Structure formats: structure tokens, C-alpha cells
Structure 1
């Protein structure tokens, strides 16, 4: 017998959403796993008690159809909603294409809110929990990730506000402040490049390597991450939960260490020292 239903966005192969689908399924939950493209969920498509749903969080019609499907198959209830869909992004802020930045917010900020709005009636009926997968980058001034970091911190602020606004309706909210995962491949950044005339052109290869996840930072296996995070979700944790590679260190550092020390850490292997020498 199913323990309840779960909808997870962003379940493409190799990511946290896919890994959490497998864990929830093993724990006895009925999982609705979603992605913009059904073909990207091959690793979980044959799991028992898992239904694949096409859901682009920026498209109202996809959200509406997903909510209708879950409503029909669960008698209008949803135990857990996991907002995991997101896009990564690398670009110096001075080179940022504002329209590209707005598109990023559509996926990382407005998309999760739109999905939450659509599924809240089902969560209320189940006295369920909505989860937002946010990022450590929202607490660090990491060069070239300013737009992405701002979007994920914005998502977290909305999650923390929703935690209060949904409390009267017996719906819990959890933000998972997440460190880098090994399986968050960055192959779509292989053709990444700076705009013509960029002041950061001398270190373009360094930025590209960082976009590909080749900067040497510690990363956690998605399966290990999913096991712990799903366990905390099932136990009813609310508020903020920090987990993933370097999560504990970043939490401590941002709370207790001077910003100058944190800044010196995040600038390592960014090429900013090279630019500084060239612009004495």
C-alpha cells in the first residue's frame, strides 16, 4: 500500500530529482517524476509506482495538466511536492544578457512558485510538505555565478515566506540549501563563450572550465544526497536544511567568518588574480 504521493520536478537522468525519485519509490511512495522532456528520464522510467510527466515549469499549460493528472490519480491529495527543476548559469555580471537572466528567473524562481500555487490545494488536503532545492551559491559571492546565485537565493526567500503563509493551512515548507553534486554534469556548457569585447576574455578558458564543473571543488554523489534529504523530508523537517558537498563549512563560514576571508576562498582558481595583474 502506498504511503502517499510525491511530485518531483527536474528529474532528468543524473540529477538530484532522479535520485530522489528512486529513494521515495523504495520508501513506498507513489512518485510523479517530471521533466521538460520525457526522454531525459530513462533511468527511472521502469521503476514500479513511478509515473513520468512532461512538465516545463515555465509553461502554464504543462503545470495545469500535471496538476490535473495528479489530482485524478490521487483523489486530490499530494503528500510531498519537491521543486527541484533549475538551470545553472555562468557569466560575468558585466557581460550578462539581461534577457537571458530573466529567462533564468522564469525557471529558477517563478517556475517553482507557479508549480507550488497549482499544487497547494492538493497539499492542503494531505497536510503535506513543499520542498525547494536551493543552493549554497546563494550565500557566497562566487565569481561568474551572480545571476544564478541571486535566482536561487530569491527562491529560498520565497520558500521561507511561504513557510509562514502556509502554516495556517497545515502545509509545511522546507528549503534544502544544497552543495554541488557529482552528477550535475555541465556538458551543455561545452560551447559556452563570452560575448565579443568582454573584459574577461583573458580568462575565458578558466570560466568555461568552471561552467563544466572542472574547477576541482568537492562534489557529492546524487544518490547519497537523495538518501539523506528524502529521509529528512519524510521525518517532517521544516525551515532550512543544509546538505551536500561543503554545506556545513559554508554555513559556518557565512555565519561566523569575516566576509574578506570568505571572499578570498571563493576567488581561488577563478582567474581574477590574472586579471588583477594585467590591470595594475
Structure 2
């Protein structure tokens, strides 16, 4: 049966994460929410059993799983979807010289190819609704922080793709928003992560810096997921299109990227991730 309310489908709706917060916020504002994730038991409790939400098991890397989700949405809405939010993604942290190419391909699969696959599958529903697609990218696409090249490249691909899709979808009546997300405190860093450098790595002396980055150093002082979700929902409802920066120091980060000459921007990057300083310290330690 078609829902008379606005509908939204969000990927990666784990409780405590950005997707879960977006699902809760839309739910509270009266939308019918399709909360999707690989493990439905991890959905926010407010959505479980709600008459205004459907929790769907969805693996965005599986064409069969995506096709099944499309059919579930069609049955509920009569073949329309007002908003699709491609939120699922994965982070990876390693210097380029030590990065696993195979693992990097998995990052691109989830951060770029999966949003495109979701868009292709749900496009008929979005076109019918004259709806909106929202792709959650990252400020890492613009900020060349050391150790983030694989992740940043995958998000840069998403930014380029999303902005191109915006032009392609506009004549079909579909609006496109590219979220340039800066720091947000989420459950992504609850469990400590480690990256062990290979024995022959030239960066062995930076183990502490790598550990700090893997465990959320860039999220220090960031807004929480519900604050972030509230801003994103307001942005979507405002009719915005194109790139929208949201998160910790989003306005300053946007201005810094646009206005700073390269040498100033490099100083900003070094102030956030003191890579050169730590390399110099490591070198002195070897000489001592």
C-alpha cells in the first residue's frame, strides 16, 4: 500500500552511527523510514517495530540484496521513493607505500560503486517521486591528510560521481546533494583499531600517530551524530543541491580549501596531522 507520507531510505543505519541518527531524525519528523543495514538487530530501538518504519537487511555490495530492497520499497510506497541517502561506507588508514591494494579495492567498492549501484536500482522510484538522492562523501576528498590516501581517493571519486550525477539527474526531476562530511563523533571509533607497519616500512616510527588516527583523532571536538543529522535533514528539506559541507568546523574547512594558497593549506594539514614533525622525531630517535 502506498504511504501518503514522504519516504526516505538510508543505508548503514547502525545505532550510534550517522545512518542511525539520520533514520531517527527523519522518523521523528514524520517521514516513513526504510532503515537498511547488514545486521537488522543493530538498528536504533526507536525504529524497531515502529509503524512508521521498515527495517530492511541490505548488503549494498550485493545486486540481489539491492533488488530485493527495491521490491520491498515498491510494495510499501506504490513505486515511489522521495529520498535515497547513500550513507554506507568504510574507512581505511595506512600510508600509500604500505596500503593493501586488495583492501583498497574493497574500500572503493563500498564508498563509490555501491552508491552508484543503489542509484541505478532506485532511480525509477526517485524519478516517479521527483525525489532527491544524497551521497555522503567526506572532506577527506579535499584534505590530503597523510595515511588517508585510499579512503580519501574513494571519497573523491564519490564527490566527482555525485556531482556528475547531479547534472544527469536534474532533467529527470531528481535533485542531488553531495554531503562533504567533516568530523562527526560516531560509534565508528568505539572499538580501538590498530595498524601495524610492515617491518620494512619507512614509517615504522609513526606507530603512535597511526594509532591515534585510527582511533578518531580527527573527530576530537566534533559534533555528535544527532546534531549532524539535524543539520542534514534541514539541508535536504531546504531544497539544497550540490555540495554541502556539514560537521566539525565545516565552514572554516570549506573556506580554507577554497581560499588558501597551497603552502598555507599544507600548513593547516600539518597542524592537524603532524606527519613531518613526527617523521623528524622518529629520525632523531634512530640516530640517538
TM above 0.5, yes or no, is yes
Match status 1:108 vs 2:111: yes
**Aligned equivalents of 2:255 and 2:59: distance in 1?**
35
Give distance in 2, aligned partners of 1:237 and 1:75.
26
Who is 1:50 aligned against?
53
CA shift, 1:197, in A, is 2.0
What's the secondary structure of 1:267's corresponding residue?
Answer: helix
Q: From 216, 239, 242, give the equivalent of 1:239.
A: 242
Query: For 1:215 and 1:181, how far apart are their aligned partners in 2?
Result: 9
Name which of 16, 19, 25 aligns with 1:17: 19
Deviations 1:15-45 (A, max 9, x none): 1111111111111111001112112214332
Pair 1:59 & 2:49 matched: no
Partner of 2:279: 275
Stretch moving more, 18-27 or 211-220: 211-220
Q: Structure 2: which 5+ runs fail to align?
A: none
Give yes or no for contact 2:206–2:282 (8 Å, CA) kept in 1: no
Structure 2 SS opposite 1:102: helix
Residues 133 and 215 of structure 1, relative CA distance in 2, 3 Å threshold:
closer
What is the aligned partner in structure 1 of residue 197 from structure 2? 194
Cα distance in 1 for partners of 2:73, 2:219 equals 41
SS of the residue corresponding to residue 185 of structure 2 reads coil
Of the structure 1 ranges 195-204 and 129-138, higher mean CA displacement relative to structure 2 is found in 195-204
C-alpha deviation, 1:279, in angstroms: 4.6
SS at match of 1:149: helix
| Aligned twin of 1:28 | 30
2:185 maps to 1:185: no
Q: Determine which of 130, 133, 138 is the counterpart of 1:135.
A: 138
* 1:157-203 deviation line (CA, Å, top 9, x unaligned): 11111111111111110111111111143245524322332211111
Task: Spell out, residue by residue over 1:121-170, the C-alpha distance to the aligned partner (whole angstroms, 9 max, x if none).
Answer: 00011000000011111111111111111111110111111111111111
CA shift, 1:260, in A, is: 1.5
- Describe the SS at the equivalent of 2:163: helix
Q: Give the CA RMSD over aligned residues.
A: 1.7
The equivalent residue for 1:212 is 215
- Is contact 1:178–1:242 with CA below 8 Å preserved after alignment? yes
Q: Is the CA contact 2:126–2:132 (under 8 Å) kept in the aligned structure 1?
A: yes
On the 8 A contact 1:2/1:30 being kept in 2, the answer is no
Distance 1:216 1:55 in 2: 28
> Aligned residue pairs: how many?
280
Does the residue aligned with 1:152 lie in a helix, a strand or coil? helix
Match of residue 254, structure 1, among 254, 257, 261 = 257
TM-score, structure 1 length as denominator?
0.94
Q: Secondary structure at the match of 2:197?
A: coil
For structure 1, list consecutive stretches of 5 or more residues without a partner in the other structure. none
Distance 1:97 1:122, change over 3 A: same
- 1:222 is aligned to 225
**1:48, distance to aligned residue in structure 2 (A):** 4.1
Checking the alignment, whether the CA contact within 8 Å between 1:19 and 1:226 is kept in structure 2 is yes
Cα distance change on mapping 1:155 and 1:250 into 2, 3 Å: same
Return closer, same or farther for 1:217/1:260 CA change in 2, 3 Å cut-off: farther
User: TM-score, structure 2 length as denominator?
Assistant: 0.92
Distance in structure 2 (CA, Å) of the matches to 1:166 and 1:111: 18
Q: Distance in 1 between matches of 2:213 and 2:19?
A: 23
Please, which moves more after superposition, 47-56 or 166-175? 47-56
